[in-house]
Every structure is written in structure tokens, then in C-alpha cells.
């Protein structure tokens, strides 16, 4: 090739390349300055805004799970402010950290009987010093406009008085399980909140956890036929005799109301039915730990559909938190069902001539954040919580029947729930008076978390 042609070609290429680089640099500069978009609009990468939320189309192939939508938290000023009442292990290890994952709620106040601890915790979470109260500070808390709801996280026997005080202060209430130390106390709590026209929700976190919800969906869909047997086990060991859970006056009982309630509430939630009879046995060893409360309880619930639930709980057995459902055409096992994390869901069924056992993998989510955000949603949208006071009351009534069955050694017949959730309201689902229908003591399904 002649030298002049070669030179021309090189000059042309350099000029073209330089122009391209200049053009790209200019476009990038415009994009950085917000004056334009570098290149053509690509919604698959840039997304779009719908109802104040950024959404993206699914970019994964059909063999992979779609990516969840990006978080869409409310602006901090629009989130529901909570006061946390009680700063024990659960509040400090789980609940307060969970507010960091909440999208609709924020921690704005504390109430504690330990001023030094409350002051330290308030500093850690950016809570104003003037929003820290003692247990006698309900009048001052009532005047705090930032507090829309309280989360009661104290020993069972003081729930009633604190819920009534919160209702009197005009604040909505999220109360830890068990709801109270007796059914009579639970009734008083429901009445106080109804009179004050504030919402009352019981913190049954497993009803908001994705794996537990998937088990409920599978059972209710009847995909594997009619349920015959449910097994639920929740056990752990205890070691400190001074712990409040081992004091009858504070706990109202031992393993049953503390961890056995997960089995009781779990099987009721699975079926949506209420049991018609219960049998039970209780055993406690000759051990100073169990002078006031029971160690081990086993109970069997019979449901109208014919399903039997075999439940066991103990303060003296290695930690096991397991749920199993045996239906006509398949079996469902949920490992770590009642734990804070680590759930694994397996389904077994016939696949042609083979027995298939598959794991259903779901994204892990913070159960406490999910339940707190659900309460916030109910406040913002004036909805009935999925787990209102009626749900907690029903478990209190059933636990009293379990203790009675163990005491007498005979089966105890159970009546339909004495209080059902708002017949006729638009968000209560299939409910009827007289004990018929499903989910009589529950509000509508919780919203799906992204």
C-alpha cells in the first residue's frame, strides 16, 4: 500500500476514534450533569417508577427464580413510630435490630425500669433522651406525638396492665406472645383496646415468616389432599432458676405458654380450623428449676376435619423446633420451624414410580421486621391485624384446657371461639358466627413482603 494511502488511513482512523471518544465523553458528561441519558433508554437496566416505587423487569431466564423487587421503604418521616416497652434480651437481641430492616416502622421511644440501660440503648439507636420513660411514664408517653404504637416486650403477667395503660394513652399496641397469663386477662386487654379505639396485635412472628406461610399455602391448597396428622415439637433447655420464665407469678406457666404456644398456634394456623377436643400429659422432674412451672407437656388436638395434631414441648430437651404434616398424597417437613432463622422446607410425594423429596428454597427475611411492618401497615391503612387480640385469647383458652386435660387425665371438649374477628367487615375473609368457617380469630392475610 502506498505511503500516502497508509498515512491517510491512519489519520482517518485516529480522527474517527477521537471523535467517538469525544462523543462518549460528552454523553457521559451530560449524563453526569443530569442533562441526558448515555445511549438509548434501556428499561431492563434502568427500571421505571410505578406508584412511587422503582421496578425492574425480570432479567433472569425461566429456569431461575425471579429476583425480588428492590426495597421500597417509606420516607423516615412517614414511618410509624414505636415505643419499645421492656429492654430485656428479646428487645436488645432481636426487636430493636429488626427496626433497621423495617420499611414502614421506626423506633422512637423506650420504656424501661433500668434508667442506665435505657439511656445507653437510646444513644445506640438515636432515640431522643426525652423519649426515654420509666414504667410510670405513660402520661408523658401519651403526650409524645412521634409515638403511634407501643411494642410490649415484658414478662407475661404484666402484659395486661401495660396494654391497658397503652390503650389509655391512645397508642396502638403490639404485644408479645403469650398474650397474657390467663384468658381473663386477655379479655380485659381486648376490651380496653376496643374501648380506646386502638388496634391490638399479638406478635405471632411465625405467621409472617415466609417458610411457615408457604406451609400454610400448601396445606390450604389441598395439593396433596386431606391432612391426617400434624406433628409439632418445640424444645429447649433452661439453666438459671432466677429467670422470670420459671416463676409462676410472672410467666403463668412453663414450657407450654412460652414455647409450646408455637406448636398450638402453628397447627391452628395451618388448618384454619379450631380444635374440638384435647388430651394432654405433663411431666416435671424433681428439680429446683421446675418447682413452680412445668418442664414437659405433650398434647393432642382433634380438629373438625378429622386431622390430629400431636404436639410436644419441653424446657428439658435439646433444642428442636420441628413441624411435619402428613396428608393423603404427600408430606411436608419444616425444619427450624419456630426458630428465628434457618428454616428449611421439604416436600415428599409420589413422582411416577419414584418417591420424590424436594426442598423449597425461599428467601430468608427477618420475622420481627415483617410483623412490625404488618402492624405499621394496619395503622396506616386502618386494617385489622392478621393476629389480633382474639387470636391470642383463643390460645389462652386452649392452654387452660390443656392444663385441665393433663390434670384430669381425660379428654376435654372444646367450644368454638368465644370472640371472632368482625363479622361483616370487608377484610375478614370467610368468617361466620357460631364457630364455623376458617380463620375465625384472624384478620386478613398479611401483605407480601418484597
Average pLDDT of the chain, as a whole number = 89
Instruction: Centre a 10 Å sphere on the Cβ of residue 1 and count the other Cβ atoms it contains.
Output: 6
Contacts with 247 (C-beta within 8 Å, 6 or more apart), sequence order: 292, 293
Give the whole-number percent of the chain exceeding pLDDT 90.
78
pLDDT tens-place string over residues 214-261: 999 999 999 999 999 999 999 999 999 999 999 999 999 999 999 999
**What pLDDT sits at residue 38?**
54
Catalytic residue selected from 151, 208, 224, 262: 262
**What pLDDT sits at residue 449?**
59
**Can you tell me which residue has the cell 409450646?**
260
Kindly tell me the number of DSSP H helices and DSSP E strands found in the chain: 14, 17
Residue 387: which of 346, 442, 336, 343 has the closest Cα?
A: 442
Residue 340: which of 68, 175, 93, 102 has the closest Cα?
A: 93
**Can you tell me which residue has the cell 411492618?**
373
Contacts with 334 (C-beta within 8 Å, 6 or more apart), sequence order: 211, 212, 215, 322, 323, 324, 343, 344, 345, 346
Contacts with 202 (C-beta within 8 Å, 6 or more apart), sequence order: 174, 175, 176, 177, 179, 387, 388, 389, 391, 392
pLDDT tens-place string over residues 46-69: 877 877 778 778 878 887 877 777
**Which regions in the chain score pLDDT beneath 70?**
1-41, 423-436, 449-450
Pairing status of strand 277-283 against strand 412-413: antiparallel
CB 196 within 8 A of CB 167: yes
Q: Is the pTM of this model over 0.75?
A: yes
Provide the β-strand partners of residue 412: 278
340 belongs to the catalytic site: no
**What pLDDT sits at residue 168?**
98
pLDDT tens-place string over residues 160-217: 999 999 999 999 999 999 999 999 999 999 999 999 999 999 999 999 999 999 999 9
CA-based R_g, the chain, Å: 28
135 belongs to the catalytic site: no
The helix or strand, by DSSP H or E, that contains position 27, with its residue range, turns out to be: helix 3-32
- Using DSSP, state whether 136 is helix, strand or coil: coil
**What pLDDT sits at residue 286?**
94
CA 369, chain centre distance (Å): 7
Pairing status of strand 227-237 against strand 308-314: parallel
Residue 26: C-alpha distances to residues 18, 34, 66, 104, 257 (Å): 12, 12, 36, 41, 68
**What pLDDT sits at residue 436?**
65
**What pLDDT sits at residue 441?**
98
DSSP states of 74-86: PPGGGSEEEEEE-
CA distance 80 to 82: 6
- 49: exposed, middle or buried (Cβ count in 10 Å: 0-12, 13-18, 19+): exposed
Catalytic residue selected from 104, 171, 177, 199: 177
CA distance 45 to 29: 20
Is-cis flag, bond preceding 178, omega within 30? yes
Furthest-apart CA atoms within the chain: distance in Å:
111
Contacts with 191 (C-beta within 8 Å, 6 or more apart), sequence order: none
CA distance 79 to 372: 11
Residue 187: C-alpha distances to residues 180, 236, 252 (Å): 9, 30, 16
CA distance 92 to 94: 6
Residue-range domains of the chain with CATH:
76-205 (3.40.50.720), 210-363 (3.30.360.10)
Q: Over the range 325-337, which residues count as b (16 or more CB within 10 Å of their CB) and which as e?
A: bbbeebbbbbbbb
Amino acid at each position: 500500500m502506498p505511503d500516502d494511502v497508509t498515512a491517510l488511513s491512519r489519520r482517518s482512523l485516529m480522527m474517527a476514534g477521537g471523535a467517538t471518544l469525544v462523543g462518549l465523553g460528552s454523553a457521559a458528561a451530560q449524563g453526569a450533569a443530569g442533562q441526558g441519558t448515555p445511549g438509548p433508554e434501556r428499561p431492563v437496566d434502568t427500571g421505571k417508577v410505578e406508584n412511587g416505587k422503582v421496578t425492574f423487569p425480570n432479567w433472569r431466564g425461566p429456569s431461575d427464580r425471579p429476583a425480588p423487587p428492590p426495597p421500597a421503604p417509606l420516607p423516615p418521616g412517614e414511618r410509624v413510630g414505636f415505643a419499645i416497652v421492656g429492654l430485656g434480651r428479646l428487645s436488645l437481641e432481636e426487636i430493636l435490630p429488626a427496626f433497621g430492616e423495617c420499611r414502614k416502622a421506626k423506633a422512637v421511644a423506650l420504656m424501661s425500669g433500668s434508667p442506665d440501660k435505657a439511656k445507653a440503648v437510646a444513644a445506640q439507636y438515636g432515640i431522643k433522651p426525652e423519649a426515654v420513660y420509666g414504667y410510670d411514664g405513660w402520661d408523658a408517653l401519651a403526650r409524645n406525638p412521634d409515638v403511634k404504637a407501643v411494642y410490649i416486650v415484658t414478662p407475661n403477667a404484666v402484659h395486661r396492665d401495660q396494654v391497658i395503660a397503652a390503650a389509655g394513652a391512645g397508642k396502638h399496641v403490639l404485644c408479645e406472645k403469650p398474650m397474657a397469663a390467663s384468658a381473663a386477662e386477655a379479655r380485659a386487654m381486648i376490651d380496653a383496646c376496643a374501648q380506646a379505639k386502638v388496634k391490638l396485635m399479638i406478635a405471632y412472628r411465625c405467621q409472617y415468616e415466609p417458610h411457615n406461610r408457604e406451609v400454610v399455602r400448601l396445606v390450604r391448597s389441598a395439593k396433596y389432599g386431606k391432612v391426617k396428622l400434624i406433628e409439632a415439637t418445640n424444645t429447649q433447655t433452661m439453666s438459671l432458676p432466677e429467670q422470670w420464665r420459671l416463676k409462676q407469678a410472672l410467666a403463668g406457666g412453663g414450657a407450654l405458654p412460652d414455647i409450646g404456644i408455637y406448636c398450638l398456634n402453628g397447627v391452628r394456623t395451618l388448618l384454619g380450623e379450631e380444635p374440638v377436643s384435647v388430651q394432654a400429659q405433663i411431666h416435671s422432674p424433681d428439680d429446683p428449676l421446675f418447682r413452680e412451672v412445668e418442664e414437659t407437656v405433650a398434647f393432642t388436638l382433634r380438629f373438625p376435619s378429622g386431622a390430629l395434631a400431636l404436639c410436644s414441648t419441653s424446657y428439658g430437651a435439646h433444642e428442636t423446633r420441628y413441624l411435619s404434616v402428613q396428608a393423603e398424597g404427600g408430606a411436608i417437613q419444616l425444619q427450624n420451624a419456630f426458630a428465628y432463622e434457618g428454616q428449611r422446607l421439604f416436600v415428599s410425594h409420589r413422582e411416577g414410580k419414584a418417591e420424590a423429596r424436594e426442598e423449597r428454597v425461599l428467601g430468608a427475611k427477618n420475622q420481627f421486621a415483617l410483623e412490625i411492618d404488618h402492624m405499621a401497615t394496619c395503622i396506616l391503612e386502618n386494617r385489622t391485624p392478621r393476629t389480633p387480640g382474639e387470636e391470642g385469647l383463643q390460645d389462652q383458652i386452649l392452654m387452660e384446657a390443656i392444663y385441665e386435660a393433663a390434670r384430669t387425665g381425660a379428654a376435654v371438649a372444646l367450644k368454638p371461639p368465644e370472640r371472632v374477628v368482625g363479622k361483616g367487615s370487608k377484610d375478614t375473609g370467610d368468617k361466620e358466627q357460631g364457630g364455623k368457617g376458617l380463620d375465625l380469630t384472624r384478620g386478613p392475610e398479611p401483605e407480601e413482603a418484597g
